[in-house]
Structure 1
Amino acid sequence: MNEQPLLVHLLELRTRLVRAILGLMLVFLGLFHWSGDIYHLLAKPLLDALPNGGSMIATEVTATFFVPMKLTMLVAFLISLPNTLYQVWAFVAPGLYSHEKRLILPLVVASVLLFLLGMAFAYFLVFPVAFHFFSMMTPSGVSMMTDIDKYLSFVMGMFIAFGVTFEVPIIVIVLVRMGVVSVAKLREGRPYVIVAAFVVAAVVTPPDVLSQTMLAVPLWLLYEVGIIMAVFMARPARALTAGSQDK
């Protein structure tokens, strides 16, 4: 690989950043008209759990505009993520060895898909159960009306928690491939992982046993999936060393 001046790399980085931002803005502009519908779709699990006549509220004057806009920008980011990742890959790929390309590209794609799968798990399974539970626990004489900004913050936090949780197989595979830990050690640490899963769930989820279990159990199962995948993907270190000679 021929070394290029720093200025060339900086210009290439600028080009890739501009293309990624343009892709994001184009998607955002295309979704702008439906920002209210997008927020309604996000709020549907809560709205379905509210009693008859229940609704959401906005405690700030600008919230009715800016909250849907923030959500639309986040949705645009997810939709334009393939373009963003391609720009990142096009920038870094020329400097990678062939065996690094074979490892990194599938891991990146799998990481994105797993993160989206975690978000879908939270939206379709966890939210309906958790919101129904909260609605049932509302004291007599109290109306359950959530502020739209606080609801967005809560949902984003849950999406991140479940999205990161679904990245566990990738983390396990990377640790094994880098030689940081062996598959045998991962198996030995299973009891500690199960305890840690419930501790993490207790910290990042609402304070009810059902929601915590719905995060802790997938976290443990994904850890097991990571171990199984690591067994099939792990290769001797000498094979990696030999492959580093070709590009």
Structure 2
Amino acid sequence: MSSESITVPTPAVAPAKAPRTEDRIVVARRLVKTYDSGGGAVQALRGLDLDVRKGEMVAVMGPSGCGKTTLLNCLSGIDDFTSGEVWIAGQRLSTLSDNGKTDFRAMKMGFIFQNYNLLPVLKSVENVELPLLVRGDDPKEARQKALDALAAVGLDQVAMKKPAELSGGQQQRVAIARALVNEPDIVFADEPTGNLDSETSREVVELMKRLHAKKGLTFIVVTHDSAVGNQMQRVIVMRNGVILKSFRPTPA
């Protein structure tokens, strides 16, 4: 556990009341995530509140161990929170079973990871179409959607190449195509430029911004890179499991 973590007793948190969610795709209320470290309860999130409007590009920043990735995982339903509540696109996550959360993610969410998470034995188009096949889409339709998604990120020419044949920047663009192929309402990105050089990072961020402008997607981007954060519409700064501040960066 990082030195940023704080060991404290789990507080009593009152049940969250249902907020209005018409214009907000993400609403979190009094969100607590507690891990059992063996020596006591370690809180990664400490009663956090968050609202993200539909179509926003939001960066989540802060030092290592501050709770950024934990927040992303709890908002997306990948990890369960200890108390509080989360609504995504009006859906209260705590009312869904594990299978229900999986289905909800497949329909509503896209994911971009630092390490790309591409299967090395699959071609680019096969990696992109995989989420559609898993959720039961028609294979022919899934293939066409995957080809369209690759074209949208400028990589239709590498559709039949495997990840090892691609540069890091190309692999991340394939991962972005995979995140978009199910036409999600929201994309969660965890350090999407963490393994890229500065020029390739800039290209990936510009690609996300173009896709945001074209499709009106909501992006929540966890990043340690201020150059990435400053390209977002809003920056949230975390420390020790809470939000210290939220601001709109000044365009360069």
TM-score bracket, normalised by the shorter chain, equals: under 0.3
**Between structures 1 and 2, the one with greater strand share:** 2
TM-score (norm 1): 0.27
**Between structures 1 and 2, the one with greater helix share:** 1
TM-score (norm 2): 0.27
